[in-house]
Structures are given as C-alpha cells and as structure tokens.
Structure 1
Amino acid sequence: MNETTDEQNSGDTAWTRRFFTNMAEKARNQLDSMYGWALHYYANTTGDGKALEYTTDEWYELIGRSDRMESLIEQHWAVMGETDAQHRVKLVVDEWGAWHSQDPSLPPGYLFGYPGTLRDALISGLTLDTFNRHADKVVMANVAQLVNTIHSLFLAYEDKCIVTPNFHVFEMYAAHQGGQSVRTLFSAPTLSYKRNPPNLPPGFAGQLSPQARARLAVDAQSSTATLWGLQGSASLNGKQLTLTVVNPYATEPRETEVVVRGGTIQSAQATILSSSDIHAHNSFENPRGLEPKEEKLPVTSSLFSYRFEPASVTRLQITLG
C-alpha cells in the first residue's frame, strides 16, 4: 500500500490538483501505485479554547464548522477525478475533529489533553455519518489520537482511565461496520445562530492558502449562519438496518416520521447519547457523567414516528422482515 499524504487543513484543492497533474505527467500508470490521498481537517475550537466552556451560539458554531467535512470530501474528490477519472485513488481522512486547549487539571506533558463534552460527541457523530454517506469515496477514516490528546476517546492519568463522549459515539457507530451504506434523506427545519469566527494564533493566517484566507475573510463578515435540523446515515447488513442521527438543536427535540422503503420492520431499538446540559462530560471524579441509554421501540411496520432528543446522537437498530 502506497499512501500519499496531503496535510493541508484549509481545503486547498489547488494543491491536490497540482499533485495529481504532476503524478499523471510522470507516467500514465503512476496513480496505480497510490492507495489513498489523505485529507486533514480540524474544526478548531471556540472562545478562549476551553473544552468545557462555551455559549449556545458557540455550541452551534463548532458543530457547523465541523460540518464542512462534507464539502471538503466532495471538492477534493471532484478535483482528483479531473486526472483520475476511474477514481483509482480514494480519500483517507486520517486527522479530524475539534481541537481545544489542554485542560489545566492535566500535567503539561499531556499534550492537548481534555475530557471533551457532548458537543465533541455530536461532532464525532456528524463526521462519521459524513464518511458513511461517502463510503464510495472515503476508504479509511480515523481520528489521529486515541488517548489524552485532541478529540481522543480515552483520558488517562496515573492509575485513572475514563472514556470520553467520543468513545460512546464510536462504540455506537461500530454497528455500521461490515454493512452496505444505503441512501438516506432527511427533512427538518434548519436552525440559525450567531457566528463566532475562530480566534487564530498570530501569524497563522499567513500560513494558509489564498482560498482559506478568502474563506476566513467571508466568515469574519458573516454575523449569522444556518445549520441543518437533522442529519445522519444508514447501513444494511443482512436484515439489520442501522440508522444513526444527529440532532444539533441544543434545547428542541425533533418529532420525526421514519420511513423504510422496500422492507417491513420486525423490531427496533434505540441507543441515545444526550443530556439536558450541553456541557455534559465525564471526569475522573464522575466517570459516568455522560453515557448512552437504550430503549425498545414498539414498531411493526415500515413507518413509525420517533422523537429525537435535543443535543443528541441516536442509533436506531432496525431488524427487517
């Protein structure tokens, strides 16, 4: 396997275009030796960078920024296809997520270690859903860090170890593994929120591509933004249909009609990660402060109503007849 990495965090499609053009010019079969083209994208943080402190608008801001992953995949895929029409080379998204400052409760050597909150969990859910919807394009996708740093799944210190909200989402979404991605359509009212452009370190903007600097300039002038009301993905493995859904509304549930085409439902159950506190998280003092709950659903047809809780990641596991 020969993987070539593009470490641009700015959506610099011009860089991708130059690379693929140069590769094709070297030899007609040069791209045959490439397995994947790596894309990195971090949504950064909000406010002063503290993982546990943010306003409701900042809750929406970071979730909205994370949703940019879909357009990045589509843009880079289109550019790759200009040279590689057969799409022999797939996308590898091997760094992504939020990136907050280190929690002061951890020693300095724990680089960017923090517990993460329900907001980070929703970012994990919507990003994994994006990868599922683009399973034909993304051949591999993973967070770069597992323990103690940047969107990690575990937090450890001396003899203590806890799971973060991200872990629960990854465990919930593991049900998609081995399945076939199937088409999903969502219809829900959008939400509006007050923009909070990211605070960038001195000199950081100078390292960005012209495309990225232009995007930052536009964002800085935008006072409001919108975000979808429900989004998710689905997969089918035998008679097991897995539907995962993110409701980004901080305070409002979404009563929704779920319709399964081409099959009847024998049984269904839900796993929900949510809280009335959008800052909910786990800690060494309270390791079970945020964890999923499960419920069985009384459905026996191809159509049923379901209430997606506010600020939630939900997995519906549906057994078909």
Structure 2
Amino acid sequence: MSVVKSSVLTLAMLAAAPAFSAVTIDVDPAKPGAVINKNVYGQFAEHLGTGIYEGMWVGPGSKIPNVRGWRKDVVGALKELRVPLVRWPGGCFADEYHWKEGIGPRNKRPVKVNTNWGGVEESNAVGTHEFFDLAEMLGADTYVSGNLGTGSPQEMSEWIEYMTSDSKSTLAELRRKNGRAKPFKVDFFGVGNESWGCGGNMTPEYYVNLYNNYETFLKAPPQYRPKIVASGGHSTNKWTDVLSGGLKGRTVGISYHYYTIPTGNWDVKGAATGFPEAQWMSTLANALKIDTSIKENVAALEKNDPEKKISLLIDEWGTWYDVEKGTNAGFLFQQNTLRDAVVAALHFNIFHAHADRVTMTNIAQMVNVLQAMILTDKDQMLLTPTYHAYKMYVPFQDATSLPVALRDNVEYKVGATSIPGISASAARAKDGKLYLAIVNTNPNEASDVALNVAGQNVSGVSGQVLTAAAMDAHNTFKHKDAIKPAPFAAKAVDGKLSLKIPAKAVVVVAVDK
C-alpha cells in the first residue's frame, strides 16, 4: 500500500475556478424533506470473532486500560462517532443465545460453543448487563435481538420482563440482585434474525404467524416498552410484502439485509486489498443497487402500510470480502480501505434519499468484523477509512433532508459497466447549517462540481475530504494515519462556487452564506 501523507492530500483541497464542463448540484432549502433519523448511522456488535471479545471487551482484570471490562481506547473512539444505536447480540448468534446464561457472576456462567462463528468457546462474559453498560457509556440507544430460532415465547417474554420491569417480580428482583436497580432502556427489540436462513430456514408466511404469536407476549411497562422489529428478507421484497400485510401488534419496522460483494459470488468474494480497478467498479456498482432494493421494499410497504407506521430497517449492510489470509475463516476479519469509505458514503446518500421510510441502519460491524470502524491487535487499535466516513457524516444525524438534483453528471465506466461519477446529498443540520456530501466514484479523475443553492448566495464551503493515492489505501498498526480526512475549503468567485472533487473521494462540507 502507498502511504499517503496529509501533505500530499492538500493538493486536492483547494477549489478550482468554475469549469464549463462542471457537474451542477442544485439544492433547494425551501423544500425540506424528511428528517434523517440519527439511527441511520447505527452500529452492530455480534458475538463473532474478536468483534466483542478482545476487540471491545477485555475484562476488568486486563492490563489493557478498561472501564468495567470495556476497552478505554475503543469506547473513546466510538464516542467520537456519536454512535446513536447499537444492535446486539446478533446476527446468527442471536438465535442460539439464551439470555439467562449471560447474567450473574461471570465466573459461574456456562461456557458454550459458538457454532455459527468459528466453533470457538463462548464464555458468556458479555451478557445483558455488560451490553447495557457499554451502550450507556456510548450514550447510544439499544436494539436487542431476541432468540426466535431455538428459544420460546416464554424465554423471550421473560427477558423483556427482566430488562424492563419496575415491579417486585422475581425476575425484576433478580436483575436488582445482579446489580441493576432500575430497568434497562430497551429502545428496540427484534424477534429473531434472518429467519429465512440461519435463524430457522422459514418461509415468510410461517414466520409472520410465529412472529404474531411471540409478539403478543412481549409485555413491558409503558414507559419502558421497546419498539418491536420483525425479521425481514435479503434479496427481494417478498418478506416485506408478506410481513407488512400480516403483522399485528406494535411493529415499527421490518428488517432487510444487504451485503456488497465485489464478484457477486459468495464462494469467491474478492480481496479486500490488492484488487484491480474492475473490482473497484463492481463493488461500487453492486453497492448502488441497494437503492433499487429499497425502492422495491418501500413499494410493498406503501401498498400494505399507506399510513407509514412501519419503517424499512437495513439492520445489516456493508462490504463482505474473502477473509484475510492466516485468520480464522469464521471470524470474518477483513482489511478496510478507501473503497469501503466510498461504499459507506454512497449508502449514506441513498439512505438520506429514503429518509421517510428508512429510519435505521446498522453496518456490519463495529470492531474487527467485516466493514469495521475499528481494528485491534491485542493492545493496539486503529481507525479505518469507514470510521472516518462515519465521523464526517455526523452532522447528518437528525438533520432535515433537502432535495438534491444533479445536472450534467459525468459517467464513470469500466468495460461494459458504468455508474454516475458523482453522488450527492444535502441536509439542514440541527446546528442550522446546510451540509453537503459529495462522492466522486472515479478512482482516476477529479471532477469539477458547481454548487447552486436556490434562493441563496453562497460565499464558500468548508469541511473535510477523504481520499488517497491508491484505491486500496488503508491504515495498519505501523502506519495508523496513512489515510485520514484533510481540510477542504472553497470560496465563491464572481458569485459562482465551483469545487474540484478529487478522484475516489468523499467530501462533506458546511455551506457558508
């Protein structure tokens, strides 16, 4: 990998003079759209590989600095992201997880085998209390996935009671005995995970009846009642169609999973680094197809739920490559490059465009697994390009989306495949500022972009850019800052504002009046 120093990046930081062939981005602040729910920037932590154990949890007796067992460095970095929501404990792991095995003294908890991920021992050291401790340290909402696959309505309802009851019931008293006096704040509760596959190989017709049965018994005091989520599909809108037409009760969302694979072949997915430009293109092209998937699923919701009571929740998404050589194949550890940051930003812009129906997404996963924010190696930690993309987009959390139109967009083409050269999104943030996000998908050529904000004179923009010389630029434990954001600013000339967006770049700026 070429180590890209920030001094090199400064070459791309300044605006160009207005270009005749510029792509024009039109933003209309007078026509605000839906609020971009902060939970669109949600995270996912599964009991998988070193995603939790070592990656985040080291135990209170570890020499690695920690707070009640959680790594100080990792928690600190995640707090900088303003993580709004964390989904736990899975994933496929959730449908073999029995919550009572994860409470009480840790040295007395049963050791199980994680049959889904690597066949390694699961100590149950991280359970309900530990998870909520992490969420509270992060200031994040919680999304708990219940065991539908190997559990029962009784087990699931008792977990809800244990977490949320403010009574003197035996389960509430057990929670108090285990160190938690007041109920936990369970914001969302999912009934199963991937019920079409690892969660039970069900049909949607069978699942919807099972869901309605389970959901009936998920009772909690009104002030502690979680929002209930149904486990949906992954490739078509069939699950969304069947579920939205047959769900009863308090359902607020149907999940949908979408992973981006360079080759489209699950057996040979493609490498995380050292890939050719053809796989840069195929990865981005496959990532952009989520827009069509969302539209198809939203169409099913519009048909069956015109009152918009049910949202589409993309609670697993991200890039999935062949695992790094020499690592446990069941741990799903992969390197994270500039390509991943571009994929993340393309997803964000698409999610913003569907903010009225897409109210939560959860990238897979937070640490050391798939498209992670953070990688660790024993006591070391580094931030990935995807982490930086998330941090750059923080202003879009709970911002009001604004209409964006692109005129004269350029085309990026490799062989017979082509995609738009520029992707953009705009919003009015809670701080009152107008923010603009721009992605240049072309890894070889910069693009001139003219900005037109209707009814407003713009004096300039200021923010950050994330780019590098190599398509697979990434951080290592020897070079932790090989790729990181750099300042980006531009001033209007004669009332016109033109930005030169570097090749393979993510840019997020505030627009100055």
What residue number does 2:209 align with? none
Aligned AA (1:288): D
Question: Partner of 1:2: helix, strand, or coil?
Answer: strand
Q: Which residue of 1 aligns with 2:419?
A: 227
SS in 2 for 1:60: helix
Report how far residue 276 of structure 1 moved: 1.9
1:245 alignment partner, SS class: strand
CA contact (8 A) 2:436 2:510 kept: yes
Q: Which secondary structure does the structure 2 equivalent of 1:136 belong to?
A: coil
Q: 1:147 corresponds to which letter in structure 2?
A: V
2:361 aligned residue? 141
**What is the CA–CA distance in structure 2 between the aligned matches of 1:66 and 1:48, rounded to whole Å?**
14
Where in structure 2 are the equivalents of 1:5-44 lying within 5 Å? 5-6=231-232, 8-10=233-235, 12-23=236-247, 30=248, 33-44=250-261
Match of 2:275 in 1: 54
TM norm structure 1 = 0.83
Alpha carbons of structure 1 residues 315 and 302: separation in structure 2 relative to 1, 3 Å: farther
Kindly indicate whether the alpha-carbon contact (under 8 Å) linking 1:265 and 1:319 is maintained by their aligned counterparts in 2: yes
CA displacement at 1:79 relative to structure 2 = 0.8
Give the aligned partner of residue 26 of structure 2: none
Flag the structure with larger Rg: 2
The question of whether the paired residues in 2 share the 8 Å contact of 1:110 and 1:148 is answered with no
Q: Partner of 2:392 in structure 1? A: 172
Indicate if the aligned counterparts of 2:464 and 2:487 stay in contact, CA closer than 8 A.
yes
1:292 counterpart (458, 461, 485): 485
Change (3 A) 1:302 1:239: farther
Q: How far apart, in 1, do the equivalents of 2:335 and 2:480 lie?
A: 10
Offset at residue 95 of structure 1 (A): 0.8
Could you tell me which residue of structure 2 aligns to residue 125 of structure 1?
345
| Match of residue 186 from structure 1 | 406
Matched with 1:275 is 468
1:45 is matched with which residue: 247, 253, 262?
262
TM-score under structure 2 normalisation?
0.53
| Residue identity matched to 1:14 | K
Task: Give the secondary-structure state (helix, strand or coil) at the position aligned to 2:404.
Answer: coil
Give the drift of 1:299. 2.8
1:21 and 1:93 map into 2 onto residues whose CA distance is 19
- 1:87/1:178 Cα in 2 relative to 1: closer, same or farther (>3 Å)? closer
**Structure-1 separation of matches of 2:452 and 2:340:** 29
- Tell me, yes or no, if the aligned pair for 1:260 and 1:303 is still in contact at 8 Å: no
Partners of 1:41 and 1:76 in 2: CA distance: 12
Aligned to 1:216: none
Specify which of 223, 228, 238 is matched with residue 2 of structure 1: 228
Could you tell me which residue of structure 2 aligns to residue 95 of structure 1? 316
For 1:155 and 1:242, locate their aligned partners in 2 and report how far apart those are by CA, in whole Å: 29
SS at 2:242's partner residue?
helix
Distance in 2, matches of 1:247 and 1:82, equals 35
Secondary structure, counterpart of 1:37 in structure 2: strand
- Determine the C-alpha separation between the residues in 2 that align with 1:69 and 1:48: 18
SS in 2 for 1:19: helix
Following TM superposition, by how much is the alpha carbon of 1:301 offset from its aligned partner in structure 2, in angstroms? 7.7
CA contact (8 A) 1:265 1:301 kept: no
Identity %: 23
Mark the CA change 1:247 to 1:81 in structure 2 (over 3 Å): closer, same or farther: same
Q: Matches of residues 190-209 of structure 1 in structure 2 within 5 Å?
A: 190-194=411-415
Give the Cα separation in 2 of the matches to 1:50 and 1:38.
28
For 2:228, give the aligned amino acid: N
Residue identity matched to 1:18: V
Q: What is the CA–CA distance in structure 2 between the aligned matches of 1:48 and 1:129, rounded to whole Å?
A: 25
RMSD (CA atoms):
1.9
Name the CA shift for 1:291/1:173 in 2 (closer, same or farther; >3 Å).
same
Secondary structure at the counterpart of residue 463 of structure 2 = strand
Q: Structure with the greater relative contact order (CA < 8 A, sep ≥ 6): 1 or 2?
A: 2
Structure 2 counterpart SS, 1:263: coil
- Structure 1 312/162 Cα, relative in aligned 2: closer, same or farther at 3 Å? same
Q: Which runs of 4+ in 1 moved over 4 A?
A: none
Alpha-carbon distance between aligned partners in 2 of 1:274 and 1:168, rounded to the nearest angstrom: 11
For the 8 Å contact 1:115–1:283, the answer to whether it is kept is: no
Are the counterparts in 2 of residues 265 and 300 from structure 1 also a CA contact under 8 Å? no
